[in-house]
Structure 1
Amino acid sequence: MERSIDHNVVLDNNITSYNRVRFINKIRIILNNRILGDVLATWFWLAKSREKRIIHDSIRHLTKIREVAEDLNNMINNIYVNDKLKAIDFYNKLDKDEKDADEIKRNIIKELSTSTLHPMDREDLLKLIFTSDDIAAFLKACSHKLKILLDIQIEIDKEIINRISEVELMIIKQIELLIDSLENLYRDISTTLTYTNLVEEIEEKIDMLKMELQETIYSKCETITIRCLLLKEAIEDIEMASDKCEDVADIIRMIATTYS
């Protein structure tokens, strides 16, 4: 006697089997997504942690650059009082501090080369480091022009050197504001933006002082001399250092508004 096939039972079994497979696949997807989510969360945490560490190192870098600026100001002050030996001592200290800043820069670049950061984040941090380094480079260039004048025993007009010192103090203030802005980057973005805006305002004042200084130099230089040329270049170097401070402020603003 032939057994009849209950098609309804077969259909029910097939549906049950199909639903079981779908259920298992859903579980697999959920587990895979959860694992992927955990992996991504870990990656983001590591990337953010490394970014904060690099920002901390950038603060150390700028702190050393502030020392370079202070060295230049001390050199200028000793030129003003005609103490050539002390002025040269501060020039040598500036040279050492600038090299120390370079070493910090190289270590940060090495850290970035092996980091898990997104390429765009890495690029912004590299811009921060290289542009900060430009500040120190222009300050050193200014000190070198002044040292040449000392070496060849050319007297520098006290009014001019006093005005250069005035500008240099403003650059020190700019660098301090940049440090403060980075220190507040992960605590209070509005404070960071306020500090960077102040850096820009100081740069505008320095632009005006530069023009006044150039007028003073031209009024005292009836003929083109080594003193006039070197002082003009020294003022341009110090003004470029201020411009680079503003550029660093722009980069910090970009980091603050985009990634923080």
Structure 2
Amino acid sequence: MHNQNSSKTVAPHWHQSIELGFLVSDNQLTFRDNNVTYHFKKGDIWIVNSRNVHASCLDTTESLFEFCLIIDYGFLKKAYPEFDQIKFNLHGKPESIKQLIAYQAIEKNLRVMIQLLQGQKNPSTKLALTGQTYLLLASLIENFSCQNSDYQNQVNDNLIDRALELINSNYMTDLNGTNLAKQLNTSLTTLNQQFNQAVQMPISKYITVIRLLNAQKELLNSDNNIDLIAINCGFSSTKSFVRNFKKWKGITPFHYRKVFH
């Protein structure tokens, strides 16, 4: 669960897990999933498929309450071994009666989970949350899934996962696509092809996104000066950091910290 305001836009990112979102508060959230833009309002539920690039932005100054459930890929594979062969299609309230009934049941499950998380924890809380997760997953598979036509042409998961580990561990260094490909014993062409297929962006852009996300955290949670943040997050210079940050957020990191720190 998290509250969000106009300063807390979520940059494009992806993960192997699936993400289930539920807008609890009475406002509107702009959400982009695999290059398609959706406008969610109170009560809307949506799901982001594994490896889909997604981002969100609150267009008003009002606070937002969103419940976000990320279901681990390993858990999914164990619970439903054919998980890679399906994909989900849920972006707000459905139209058919059958799906609407299932949708209302899912909303009830999510509200129960919110109550469990907000209430007093006891030894059975984790068990209750796990039970609700299984109920949600069963309903989603039964009512909001279809065959994944890309199943036979999937990316090299092992290569992508190893690349992600190296990026997350070494983004603060002079890491780039060329030396990353060398570390992975593959060509830059292959690495870019795999990343474009997996996350719809080249490796160099993804590295920059990770650096910007970490720089944003440091701007908000530390008093380090801009030069030091640029170094800590792997940018070649302060000028490069400022240019990329302004392109991302529309304002300089100096202004961003002044407004939101």
TM-score scaled by structure 2? 0.28
Higher strand fraction (1 or 2):
2
- Higher RCO (Cα < 8 Å, 6 or more apart): 1
